[in-house]
Amino acid sequence: MKIDILTLFPEMFEVFNHSIMKRAQESGRLELSIVNIRDYSVNKHRKADDYPYGGGAGMVMTPQPIVDCIKNVKENNKGKVIFLGPRGERFNHEKAQELSHEESLIFLCGHYEGIDERTRKYIDEEISLGDFILTGGEMACLPIVDSISRLIPGVLGSEESFMDESFYNGLLEYPQYTRPADFEGDKVPEVLLSGHHDNIKKWRKIKSLEITKRYRKDLYDEYILTKDDIKLLKNKKKYLKD
């Protein structure tokens, strides 16, 4: 997948040069480019913002550098232009899955008091991270691009790496344990040490259902219990012995 991120602050995306995102780029599964909008400003000081007409606090990103930046990037990236802003659809795992199937994407990060309204004709879609205020679109872009990228085939070690994660199947993830088996008298559940893979799978599903119901009742209410789920919950004492 090819992703271009248009921003006034390229240095904020240095985090993508580490860990899984770095390996994804080195393997060629992800082509990530950070584009500085200021480079397209015709202002001799590379200015990309100005005071809003009508007055008010703060500055507004001017249309010229944004539009010229989009046009230039579009020459090598035909993907949809996505603006990170409050008018958009709220981002979730389903949206991440949808976008992970795209061949290319362009993300536009707003800043200050936002972008000149006339810029919006060059935007295909708007996405919001949630109903709260951030210092700029960069802060929303980081988790969104990370979430999408990890769903690209081959980016993670195996498909199971994300299939068992929270939200993949509509539920929160089951508890995880590692060595030592006994930490300060708190022991790892026996079923995880048993080597009985079917029982471990059932234990994990029961725990996932219980944790979701306890911490995210909204997700649990939307989840449709299967016949196997109902059977597991009825006989959960059999699998939850510690």
Tokens describing residue 137: 């679109």
Distances (CA, A) of 33 to 47, 142, 184, 215: 22, 13, 47, 38
Tell me the C-alpha distance between 240 and 204, whole Å: 10
State the pairing for strand pair 60-61/49-50: antiparallel
Residue 6 among known ligand-binding residues: no
Helix, strand and coil content of the chain, in percent to the nearest 5, comes to 45, 20, 40
Residue 130 among known ligand-binding residues: yes
Residue 110 among known ligand-binding residues: yes
DSSP run (H or E) holding 25: helix 19-26
Tell me the C-alpha distance between 51 and 231, whole Å: 63
Residue 195 among known ligand-binding residues: no
Distances (CA, A) of 214 to 3, 141, 208: 37, 30, 10
Q: Is the peptide bond before 143 cis (omega within 30 degrees of 0)?
A: no
Residue 30 among known ligand-binding residues: no
Binding residues for S-adenosyl-L-methionine: 110, 129-134
Binding residues: 110, 129-134
